[in-house]
Structure 1
Amino acid sequence: MKTIKSVIGGAALLLAAGTAALAARTDLVVGVVLEPPHLDPTASAAAAIDEIVYANLFQGLTRIGRNGEVLPSLAESWEVSDDGKVYTFKLRTGVTFHDGSAFDAEDVKFSLDRARAEDSTNAQKQLFAAIDTVEAVDPATVKVTLKAPQGSFLYNMGWGDAVIVAPETADANKETPVGTGPFKFDGWAKGSAVRLVKNTDYWGDAVALEKAEFRVIPDAAAAIPALLSGDVQAFPQMPAGDALAQIESDPRFTVKIGATEGETLLSTNNGKEPFSDIKVRQAIAHALNREEIIAGNGSGYGTPIGSHFSPANEAYVDLTGTYSYDPEKAKALLAEAGYADGFKATLKLPPPPYARQGGEVVASQLRQVGIELEIIPVEWAQWLEQVFKNKDYDLTVISHTEPNDINIYARDDYYFDYDNPAFKEVMNTLEATADPAKRIELYKTAQKIIAEDAVNGFLFQLPKVGVWDAKLEGMWENSPIQANDLTEVRWAD
């Protein structure tokens, strides 16, 4: 009997060891191109922040799903008054922040009032401009009254800029973020990686991953060996360069070419000479060969656009023919504007390959019509400070990845420095319109106005070149919002 027991015991140990070996992984390293300037999504326009914290660490009243739909989040339901001005949100109960403090209606009131305050540092403060009052009716109920009906209000509340934070920890969120999400902050090695761990006290469905690391890998030279060696298991937006075809043929990996909300622009300082002259901007538009720019943008993928709108949106209008590629016409327009011999300007390029490599192509094309550009590479923090904040630039190449954000062209003192009362009127009408068919027509009108004004060089819709281990499930193919949502990601058994 002793011998039989020993054999059975040994078999049981072997079985247990085999089961452990076959257990699915619970860790993940995700490669990201840009390091965020900090980790507070309510205090910066940097997409790199939301790419780490949205839905993972921080949550809003609503959230944007993988198909661009508005979903409940910290608000489990809501009612809208007949006049479309009063939203009554029923909040989830039993929710706590990562520091253990309770979430309730007062946190919602604090967050929304903070975002819309006169001294607010929220980069998307305009999202909250329609709010008149926020009332904490009881711990689980919030009533938001708008100044006028706003058809996009629930969608706006799903942006990363609208996440709910606690008054006790809000000021420290840049370095030690505290949210209500399914992951908690576990550390930040500056210049290297941000680490998250599973929130065991999460109010909703538990995530499968025990820990996740967002590792900063800015270019293909570093990204490819990291992927092939298994050091990094997923790149939601991979800087693959010419190696993408090789990766696609490797059965160890899944490659998905998806869509983003990233309108890639030759952003132009409309308030600065000579770009304040529409003929100069039209000349630039005629000098741009979008297909060449796409071919040289680092991935070779992208959909040409002629205005600031995603081709995936049902209201999209193809306006690429507004100013077709015509270098001779570009030269003629420059002569009419008084620049027959061309002029010199600067082109500030942030780190992403679509900007650095695509910007080289842009500079070459403008040189052909007499516009000599001095290329100035800048780091992400420099771009935010010099270009976005201080408007210290002539031209830059950047992707605007915020969802459905054509309204930025109506903002006073935005970094484009564009001011068209007719466009603002369309946006004001859109804000007060809930009827879907009417909203589509207004969006189409808005696209045409900024296309004809050649506000920017409208280049292409940024593709989402997703690459990850073939055993990973739940990664997003498209990016309807600037996020790398890990809440449904798991390793297959």
Structure 2
Amino acid sequence: MKMSLYKILSILFWCFACNTLVAQNILRVAITQNVGALNPQGYNTNAMFAQNMVYEGLVRLDKNGVLSPSLAISWEISNDGKVYVFALREGVQFSNGESFNADAVVLNFESILKNKVRHSWCGLIHALDSVKKIDDSHIELHLKYPYTPTLYELSLIRPFRFLAPSAFPPDLDLIKHDPKPIGTGPYVLVDSQPGISDSFKKNEYYWDKHRYNGIYFDTIVMRVIFDPNTKLSALKSGQIDLIYGYDIIPIEMFLQIWHDKNLKTYLSEPIFITSLVLNSNKLPAYMREAIATAINKQELVRGVYGDMQPCSDWLFITRDTLPNFQPQSHTQKKQYDFISKSCQAPDTKKAKALLTQANPTLQAPIKLELLYSGDSPAQKMLAQILAYELQSIGIELNLSASEPTIYRNRQLNGNFEISFNDTWGVPYEPLSILYSMLTPSHIDFSAQSGLENVDTIRTLITKLLAQNPHSNNAQTLLKQILSLLSQSHVYIPLTAQRNKAIANKDIKGIQMGILSYEIPFWEFYK
């Protein structure tokens, strides 16, 4: 009798355990490398999409690129553009149960400003003077001078997201110390096994979970699978449910399964622009214009990407439009609408004339080096087609593949003639990228430095960034800057890139937005 009772109790226990496991909704995702320590002020190995799962800022961009409230429910800007007053969302808790309030905001900004040199790439860091508490639910942000992209840079994933006060080290230095990742976002990192996986669970304190009917997936398990083909095999065999990201799904793989009835493929709206960059210190103006005139963008893009994405004559995904700085609620209205259109047609005859008229003694072939990243199959294909196209005007391209670190260093130091560059997408476009052109930290500074009117361009950018967001002059300045950059032919926009995802058919709710760094797991369900 005792044995029977023991068996019955054992069966009941295992049934309860099984039901508990079944009740867990688990999404399994392939990633290329671990998400890192998830330091809210960290770069490099800290995966942005994962930081975005854990941490939130005062404001955010929704999937349509619209500036929206987040941990601040509203804000006001002073007439001189130097003081921002934020009303904080009340009742918000960090994932450990701590309260989010004005003290937490001030502490985080003190930590950020302590390491302002580390974050010096961001213009707001230089403009920011202080952050003061008004009361528990209001703070004031004081600037040294008006800085137009303030609100959009506050929406960045790093460094302006909030960590629980108890997680800070005594010296507030998050460059020396990686804290326990405790934020207010929808998920919490619970386990990390280097080279194997990272696991997240739902944040039980998440303030916005009711918008998503409680968030369906209790657990997100991210399996580290480096090889793209192995990722796809794992998806087909049911070991994982999802592959997500423009940078981890090769073009050829995506096109291969485009019509696979057992899997679903997803493409976003355009998220950033890939351009050819011609170094103004190495190539004279007539040669840059000739190259720009000779390229058949539509055939080039079709040859590499098929019909998956459009060609572009725009330098930015935002075209020539400034963002809207007014507080807005969640909406389906798009902030930017990148209209796919026919790009400028090539004119080989004009291109040849530009070369011969400017320099009658120029001997063909003109030999130039095209630098590309050796780990990018798409760049390699673009380079090969460009080499073929430019033969028609007497230019011979030497294709030079470099490993990523050397590639970036050569671009930074201006040690190239022609190369590729990707813009950063929203919220960085257009203003934060224009700010980056003022400092020798990216390809833009070196590529533009040989222009005769480079000082004019930089003066206009500086003037634009110092506008009060209420100003009507900012849009005019932006168009002037973009016109000068276009006329310089330093940049030849080629294509508007799109985000990609491949999922099992039973995964629902995947609606890709224009934020390249965001994977909205909180919207997915079965």
Fold match (TM-score > 0.5): yes
Deviation string, structure 1 residues 244-287 (Cα, Å, up to 9, x no partner): 466444444333322133111223444xx414x32333233234
Contact 2:370 2:383 survives alignment (8 Å): no
Question: Could you tell me which residue of structure 2 aligns to residue 378 of structure 1?
Answer: 403
Amino acid at match of 2:422: S
Query: Aligned pairs, how many?
Result: 473
With over 3 angstroms needed to count, the CA separation of the structure-2 counterparts of 1:389 and 1:30, relative to structure 1, is farther
Given that 1:195 and 1:214 are in contact with CA atoms closer than 8 Å, whether structure 2 keeps it comes out as yes
Is residue 2:271 matched to residue 1:237? no
Using a 3 Å threshold, how does the CA distance of structure 1 residues 119 and 133 change in structure 2: closer, same or farther?
closer
Q: Unpaired runs of 5+ in structure 1? A: 1-8
Distance in 2 of aligned mates of 1:457 and 1:37: 35
Alignment pair present for 1:254 and 2:296: no
Task: Tell me the equivalent position of 2:185.
Answer: 181
Contact kept, 8 Å, 1:262 with 1:461, in 2: the verdict is yes
**1:63-99 Cα shifts (integer Å, max 9, x gaps):** 1111111222222332333444321112234545556
Q: Is the 8 A contact 2:84 2:142 kept in 1?
A: yes
- State the 1:158 CA deviation: 1.0
> Could you tell me how far apart the structure 2 residues matched to 1:36 and 1:393 are?
32
Q: Secondary structure at the match of 1:345?
A: strand
Give the Å deviation of 1:460: 0.8
Q: 1:195 to 1:269 in 2, by over 3 A?
A: farther
Displacement of 1:174? 6.3
Q: 1:289 aligns with which of 273, 280, 296?
A: 296
Q: 2:47 is matched by which residue type in structure 1?
A: I
Partner of 1:197: 201
Match of 1:424 among 420, 436, 458: 458
- How is 1:23-422 mapped onto 2 (pairs within 5 angstroms)? 26-32=25-31, 39-40=38-39, 42-44=41-43, 49-54=47-52, 56-93=53-90, 95-97=92-94, 103-112=100-109, 115=112, 119-122=116-119, 124-161=121-158, 162-165=160-163, 167-168=168-169, 170-171=174-175, 177-190=181-194, 193-205=197-209, 207-215=215-223, 221-237=229-245, 239=249, 241-242=251-252, 244=254, 247-270=257-280, 273-275=281-283, 277-298=284-305, 300-310=307-317, 324-334=345-355, 336=358, 340=363, 341-349=365-373, 351-366=375-390, 369-379=394-404, 383=407, 386-387=409-410, 393-403=416-426, 404-407=428-431, 408-409=433-434, 410-413=437-440, 414-417=442-445, 418-419=448-449, 420-422=454-456
Report if the CA contact (8 A) 1:39-1:173 is conserved. no
**Aligned partners of 1:84 and 1:355: how far apart in 2?**
42
Q: Deviations 1:430-474 (Å, cap 9, x if unpaired)?
A: 441535976555443333221111122211110223332333233
Identity of aligned residues (%): 21
Structure 1 residue aligned with 2:322: none
User: Normalising by the residue count of structure 1, what TM-score does the alignment of the two structures yield?
Assistant: 0.78
Contact in 1 for aligned 2:197/2:224 (Cα 8 Å): yes
Q: 1:299 Cα shift?
A: 6.0
Instruction: Say if 1:344 and 1:250 are closer, same or farther in 2 by CA, change over 3 A.
Output: closer
Contact 2:188 2:203 in 1 (8 A): yes
What amino acid does structure 1 have at the position aligned with 2:499?
K
Cα distance between partner residues in 1 of 2:95 and 2:521: 17
How far, CA to CA, are the matches of 2:458 and 2:337 in structure 1? Answer: 18
TM-score (norm 2): 0.74
Residues 124 and 147 in structure 2, CA contact (< 8 A), matched pair in contact too: no
Q: Tell me the equivalent position of 1:450.
A: 485
Q: CA deviation digits over 1:384-410, x for unaligned, max 9?
A: 5x2565555444334323315233244
Which residue of 465, 473, 484 maps to 2:500? 465
Residue in 2 that maps onto 1:5: none
Partners of 2:518 and 2:460 in 1: CA distance: 29
**Cα-to-partner distance string for 1:106-142 (whole Å, 9 max, x where unaligned):** 4433544555678522274124444333223344322
Larger deviation, residues 61-70 vs 162-171: 162-171
Q: Describe the SS at the equivalent of 1:79.
A: strand
Code of the residue aligned with 1:63 in structure 2: it is: R
C-alpha contact (below 8 Å) 2:56/2:185 kept by paired residues: yes
Other structure's SS at 1:256 match: strand
Deviation at residue 61 of structure 1 after TM alignment: 1.0
Q: Secondary structure at the match of 1:30?
A: strand
CA RMSD of superposed structures (Å): 4.2
The one-character-per-residue Cα deviations of 1:298-341 (angstroms, maximum 9, x if unpaired) are: 5652222223222686587999867x523454455455368644
Check 1:231–1:307 CA distance in 2 against 1; reply closer, same or farther (3 A cut): same
